[in-house]
Amino acid sequence: MTRTHAASGSPYEQSIGFSRAVRVGDVVAVSGTAPVRRDGTVDADPSAQARRCWEIALAALEELGGRREDVVRTRQYVVDAAHADAVGAVHGEVFGDVRPASTMVVVAGLLDPRWVCEVELDAVVDARTTP
């Protein structure tokens, strides 16, 4: 079965050994996605961070032939339960009509202290669609 990767552009992809997303057959898995803008900055607002995370994750999914409607599972990590409503509301904006299985977990911290959330997704795409 063919394995296709989408790159994040991170300098750590090679040294750590990861991809932004991987497609094998009709399954796409998108790695933990942080709210970093192209210029390296991070908006402090939890809603803005969640939107940026989903924007990046969905772009990787699309690069591998998927669509938002193909998402079957999401994971959201927040560093403070106080951010759950804001981050969850953005999930509702993005996936309200898709309604994937979803988990939100409060974690002790993320890799960069500016991040208040990070997300992942899994999708099942039409096997006839190629990246």
What is the rounded CA–CA span in Å between residue 95 and residue 100?
7
Mean pLDDT value of segment 104-123: 98
**In this model, does residue 45 exceed pLDDT 80?**
yes
Question: Which 3-state string (H, E, C) describes 36-55?
Answer: CCCCCCCCCCHHHHHHHHHH
Asked if 63 and 102 touch (Cβ cutoff 8 Å), the reply is no
pLDDT band at 9 (very low <50, low <70, confident <90, very high): confident
The conformational region for residue 40 under phi > 0 = left, psi -120 to 50 = alpha, else beta, is: left
| Predicted model pTM | 0.95
Nearest residue to 77 via CA among 43, 121, 38, 39: 121
Q: What is the CATH number of domain 3-124?
A: 3.30.1330.40
